[in-house]
A and B are shown apart, each in its own frame.
Chain A
Amino acid sequence: MSGATAPLALTAHLLLVSSISFGGFPTVLPDVRNFVVGTHGWMTDQEFANFFAIAQSLPGPNMILMMSLIGWKVWGFPGAVASAFATFAPPCTIYFASYRLWDRFRNVSWQQIVRLGLVPVVMGLVIASGTVMARAADTGWQSTLVTLAAAGLLLGTRLNPLWILLVGGALGGAGLL
């Protein structure tokens, strides 16, 4: 926390990564972690994982909330607001502009080709983010098991993900992880 440069650096970095967060903000989580924990040491891995868990356990705009908590840690309330804006404003602008364009170029074949190429890369990134977060939360084979079970349940059942998170929290609270 070095005066005004820390919040500026954080906001600028979030503006950048949110503009390239193809596939949703989770794809840039590993990068944000490197920036705030590794490069700048604004928080510990533990705190970063806590922010992730808090944001995921509340409804609403999880990733914007998580970035706000990081902003809060660096610069208090103004940091939280600045981080929120930096996280949602660039994508919103891009979405709005591209919706206008999309409307103009409906049913053009290059749209399909771009999707075929882009989607697999993006999903590889999403899965990688899950792995990085699992590592941050890792306390032994039990927590790995919870991660695998959560993935399996979401894939194999129609269970509300809220229950999966609750059970994970309960197991942790019972001291089993």
Chain B
Amino acid sequence: MTKVAQQEEPLVRLAALFRAFLIVSLCGFGGGIVWARRIAVERRRWISDEEFADIVSLCQFMPGPNIIGIAVCIGARMRGAIGTIAAISGFLVIPWAAGLSLGMVYLEYADLPVLRNILGGIAAAAAGLLIATGIRLLVPHRRRPAALLFAALAFGLITFAKLPLLAVLFSLVPLSIAVARIQSARAQ
């Protein structure tokens, strides 16, 4: 990608991108963003805090795991398409292979009552972490009744009405954006 060459800073090595996101992947237990910022902003000084915040916000409204989006964007920012591939490979290849092998071993013994109970306990706790993460990311919107209403609607339509995701997404998101637009027009 020739566009990147116009920047004056020296090129980041692809191996460094690979290693950085391998670490993010292996350490980023539910908090991958923490590690991505620590490495890319604080330790390597590849990008500024502002730029990192930019990338995180962008990833927030794109599909897919946000942390992979951060890998894609930082890789693209540093080295273009090839940088993206290096960052994603670092994030995925080794942890995936290791995780799959471990998962196979787990499944081999999944019928043991003890293991089943352990997995049940982990699943219950993991469900709680998921709920908490959703709540935490809603906190910045807590003063906007419309935001809370749309969050509650999305929650209810999936949990209680059991509507398919696509139906919920494509009915609520345009409405919610329209309301946000009207409100911000009034505020000005």
B137 near A119: Cβ-Cβ < 8 Å: yes
Chain B residues within an 8 Å CB radius of A146: 121, 124-125, 128
A residues in contact with B127, CB < 8 Å: 130-131, 133-134, 137, 147, 150
Query: CA–CA, A49 to B115, complex, Å?
Result: 13
Residues of A within 8 A of B107 (CB): 50, 54, 69
Nearest CB of A to B46, in Å = 15
Q: Is the CB of A61 within 8 A of B65?
A: yes
Are A96 and B123 within 8 A (Cβ)?
A: no
**Shortest CB distance B89–A (Å):** 11
Q: Is the CB of B25 within 8 A of A61?
A: yes
The yes or no answer to A3 lying at the interface (CB within 8 A) is: no
- Residues of B bordering A, CB below 8 Å: 25-31, 54-55, 57-66, 68-69, 72-73, 76-77, 81, 84, 88, 91-92, 95-96, 98-100, 102-104, 106-107, 110, 114, 116-138, 141, 144, 146-148, 150-155, 158-159, 164-166, 168-169, 172-173, 176-181, 183-184
Q: Which residues of A in the span 122-175 have a Cβ within 8 Å of any Cβ on B?
A: 122-134, 136-139, 143-144, 146-155, 160-162, 164-165, 167-175
Cβ–Cβ contact B92 & A64, under 8 A: yes
- Min CB–CB distance B50 → chain A (angstroms): 11
A58: chain B residues at CB < 8 Å are 95, 98-99, 102-103
Q: Looking at chain A, what size class is its interface with the partner chain? A: 35 or more
Distance in angstroms between the alpha carbons of A64 and B153 in the assembled complex: 28
Question: Are A118 and B176 CB-contacts (below 8 A) given A55-B103, A91-B68, A143-B121?
Answer: yes
Q: B26, B155, B164, B166 — which one has the most chain A CB atoms within 10 A of its CB?
A: B155
- Chain B interface SS verdict (over half): helix
- Given A120-B147, A124-B151, A125-B155, residue A115 in contact with residue B122 (CB < 8 A): no
Contact A137 B123 (CB under 8 A): yes
Which B residue's beta carbon lies closest to that of A26?
B130
Cα separation A35 to B137 with both chains bound (whole Å): 28
Task: Specify which of B28, B54, B124, B181 is in contact with A147 (CB 8 Å cutoff).
Answer: B124
| A84-B25 contact in complex given A53-B119, A53-B126, C-beta closer than 8 Å | no
Select from chain B the residue with minimum beta-carbon distance to A135: B127
Complex CA gap A31/B169 in Å reads 12
CB-nearest residue of chain B to A129: B130
Least CB separation from B106: chain A residue: A54
> In the complex, which residues of chain A have a beta carbon less than 8 angstroms from the beta carbon of B69?
91, 95
What distance in Å separates the Cβ of A121 from its nearest Cβ neighbour in chain B?
Answer: 5
CA distance A138 to B127 in the complex (A): 10
Report the bound CA distance from A177 to B113 in whole Å: 12
- Whether the Cβ atoms of B155 and A24 lie closer than 8 Å is no
- Measured CB to CB, the nearest residue on chain A to B61 is A118
**Could you tell me if B68 and A125 are in contact, using CB atoms closer than 8 angstroms?**
no
Interface centre among B25, B81, B104, B154 (most CB of A within 10 A): B154
Closest to A52 in B: B123
Q: Are B154 and A124 neighbours in the complex by a CB distance under 8 Å?
A: yes
Nearest Cβ on chain B to A108's Cβ, whole angstroms: 12
Partner of B117, one of A56, A59, A149, A172: A172
Chain A nearest Cβ from B68, distance in angstroms? 6
- Contacts A91-B68, A121-B173 given; indicate if A49 touches B125 (C-beta within 8 A): no
